[in-house]
């Protein structure tokens, strides 16, 4: 492993604050032209820390959380688990989240997290994996496309919370 290559490992409760900081920072950069400024300004690291600590302390069966670390600093996070959609084949897994620290984007940490999540899904016998992405997030859509995901024509675009932004489902066979 080179000095700038992240180590991917399972997330633990002690990673909760780093994950929350990473997610809030990532949202504020990646979605600044897509989501309302008030929504992004209202994101709370404290709330995120509490939520992640609870999820990592008492994991939901079937949900996995991975972090990418450099020199023990969390630079990326991915979470996956059972699909929340009823129209998909049994055993389908969903990538719930994949974020990389804005200063670390483009250095391979997202690919490493994606490879780990896909390997985990294959190991679990999932027929496919899905994810939801904001339709205007061209960079994320391109990243997921490079990982073998394509827009799922069976799933319509849906509104993201109470915003004008739309999200769409992408899918990949395993």
End-to-end alpha carbon distance in the chain: 27
pLDDT of 2 > 70? The answer is: no
Average pLDDT of the chain, as a whole number: 94
pLDDT of 98 > 80? The answer is: yes
Task: Evaluate whether residue 135 is within a structural domain.
Answer: no
Q: What is the CATH number of the domain that holds 20?
A: 3.40.630.30
| Domain, as residue range, for 21 | 7-126
Task: Evaluate whether residue 153 is within a structural domain.
Answer: no
- The pLDDT tens digits of the residues spanning 49-79 come to 999 999 999 999 999 999 999 998 999 999 9
Within its chain, how far is the Cα of 149 from the centroid? 14
Q: What does the pLDDT read at residue 1?
A: 45
- The pLDDT tens digits of the residues spanning 120-159 come to 999 999 999 999 999 999 999 999 999 999 999 988 889 9
Q: Is the pTM of this model over 0.85?
A: yes
pLDDT of 47 > 90? The answer is: yes
Tell the residue number behind the tokens 């969903």, with chain if given: 94
Q: What does the pLDDT read at residue 57?
A: 96
Enumerate residues 6+ apart whose C-beta is below 8 A from 61: none
- The pLDDT tens digits of the residues spanning 110-122 come to 999 999 999 999 9
Total structural domains within the chain: 1
Task: Evaluate whether residue 112 is within a structural domain.
Answer: yes
Task: Evaluate whether residue 55 is within a structural domain.
Answer: yes
Task: Evaluate whether residue 159 is within a structural domain.
Answer: no
Enumerate residues 6+ apart whose C-beta is below 8 A from 11: 19, 56, 65, 66, 67, 77, 79
pLDDT of 22 > 90? The answer is: yes
Task: Evaluate whether residue 86 is within a structural domain.
Answer: yes
Instruction: Write the DSSP string, 57-114.
Output: HSPPTT-EEEEEEETTEEEEEEEEEE-S-TTSPTT-EEEEEEEE-GGGTTSSHHHHHH
The strand pairing partners of 170, in sequence order, are 131, 151
Task: Evaluate whether residue 155 is within a structural domain.
Answer: no
């Amino acid at each position: 492993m080179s000095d700038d290559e992240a180590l991917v490992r399972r997330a633990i409760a002690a990673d909760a604050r780093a994950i929350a900081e990473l997610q809030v920072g990532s949202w504020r950069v990646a979605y600044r032209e897509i989501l309302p400024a008030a929504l992004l300004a209202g994101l709370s690291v404290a709330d995120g820390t509490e939520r992640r600590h609870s999820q990592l302390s008492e994991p939901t069966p079937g949900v996995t959380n991975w972090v990418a670390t450099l020199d023990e600093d969390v630079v990326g996070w991915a979470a996956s688990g059972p699909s929340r959609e009823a129209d998909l084949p049994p055993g389908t897994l969903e990538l719930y989240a994949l974020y990389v620290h804005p200063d670390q984007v483009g250095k391979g940490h997202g690919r490493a997290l994606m490879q780990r999540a896909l390997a985990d899904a294959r190991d679990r016998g999932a027929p496919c994996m899905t994810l939801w992405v904001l339709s205007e997030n061209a960079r994320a859509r391109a990243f997921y496309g490079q990982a073998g995901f394509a827009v799922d024509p069976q799933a319509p675009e849906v509104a993201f919370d109470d915003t004008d932004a739309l999200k769409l489902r992408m899918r990949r066979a395993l």
